[in-house]
Structure 1
Amino acid sequence: MKLYGITGWKNSGKTGLVERIVTEICSRGHSVSTIKHAHHDADVDQPGRDSHRHRQAGAREVLLATPHRWALMHELRGAAEPPLPDLLAQMSPVDLILIEGCKTEPHPKIEAFRQANGRVPLAGQNATIRAVASDCAMPDVAVPIFDLNDTTAIADFILREVGL
């Protein structure tokens, strides 16, 4: 499986960019999965639902199955967050896995950048960032710069980078 990341500061447009790239690459006939890393607590389950009640009771894993999808929730119960390779081992084979977040992991990435955030670009400080998708000109950045909304060009770049 090929890996490519989308990284950037909070509110830089990462999720929207991932969504558009997934749509674009899938429309070209490739299979794509995603990993979303969050630094904060997030819950995909709903209080009061049976699966949530199972987790609250202490289950280590709860697999929810429906006629349309299944989801496996694994509670760490105080254990350390698993490293990215362990998470990738849980994924079914696809052509490309897009990883949102994981700034410090070694896979190649595109940085989503919005000038309004008032932050310094990560590109230049992080050698795994191969390009920037930005809403402004960035003459001092040494990697390719794409318009944040030019999904076709960004998808072309990623597919070239991973050899698909």
Structure 2
Amino acid sequence: MKVFGFAGWSGSGKTTLIEQVIPEITRRGLKVSVIKHAHHGFDIDKPGKDSWRHREAGASEILLISDERWVLMHELRGEPEPDLDAQLARLSPCDLVLVEGFKAVQIPKLEVHRPAVGKPLQYQDNPAIVAIATDVPLDAPLPRLDINDPAAVAAFILQHQGLI
């Protein structure tokens, strides 16, 4: 599996850009998966539901399955957070994994930058960044992609990863 990341400050548009890039890639017949790292607790379960009750009772893992999807919830219960390699190993085979977050992991990344967020560019401090997607002209030594052109962003990623 090829792995490509998205870096940028909160509010820069990483999730929106990934959401727009995915269909551009799947239209080419490629299978895409996503790993999103959250810096805060989250819960996909609902209090009172059977799976929530099982977790609250102390189950380490709960696998929910239906005729449309399945999800495995794993409670860390004090264990360390798994690294990106451990999470990649859990995924089913695919052509490309897009990663949002995991800022310190050295995988090729696209920096998503909007000056309106009021934060500096990150590429100078992160050698894994190979291009910048933005909505303004930039004077930077990396390729500049139009954040509003998801087809061009997808093409760059696929070319960079040797998938086209």
Instruction: Normalising by structure 1, report the TM-score.
Output: 0.97
Distance 2:87 2:161 in 1: 20
**Residue 163 of structure 1: aligned partner:** 162
Shift of 1:103: 1.0
Distance 2:93 2:103 in 1: 23
**Residue 8 of structure 1: aligned partner:** 8
RMSD: 0.8
**Residue 148 of structure 2: aligned partner:** 149
**Residue 105 of structure 2: aligned partner:** 105
Shift of 1:51: 0.8
Q: Which amino acid aligns with 1:41?
A: G
Q: Which moved more, 1:72-81 or 1:39-48?
A: 39-48
Q: Which amino acid aligns with 1:122?
A: Q
Distance 2:48 2:112 in 1: 37
Write out per-residue CA displacement over residues 44-96 of structure 1, whole angstroms, 9 at most, x where no aligned residue: 11112111111111100000001100000000001110111111110000000
What aligned pairs does 1:52-131 form with structure 2 within 5 A after superposition? 52-131=52-131
Residues 1:42 and 2:26 are matched in the alignment: no
Q: Runs of 5+ in structure 2 lacking a partner?
A: none
Shift of 1:7: 1.2
Contact 1:124 1:142 in 2 (8 A): no
Q: Runs of 5+ in structure 1 lacking a partner?
A: none
Aligned length: 163
Distance 1:110 1:133 in 2: 7
Distance 2:20 2:89 in 1: 25
Instruction: Normalising by structure 2, report the TM-score.
Output: 0.97
Shift of 1:111: 0.8
**Residue 136 of structure 1: aligned partner:** 136
Shift of 1:157: 0.6
Distance 1:148 1:46 in 2: 35
Distance 1:89 1:65 in 2: 20
Identity %: 50
Write out per-residue CA displacement over residues 11-66 of structure 1, whole angstroms, 9 at most, x where no aligned residue: 11000111111111001110000000011111111112111111111100000001
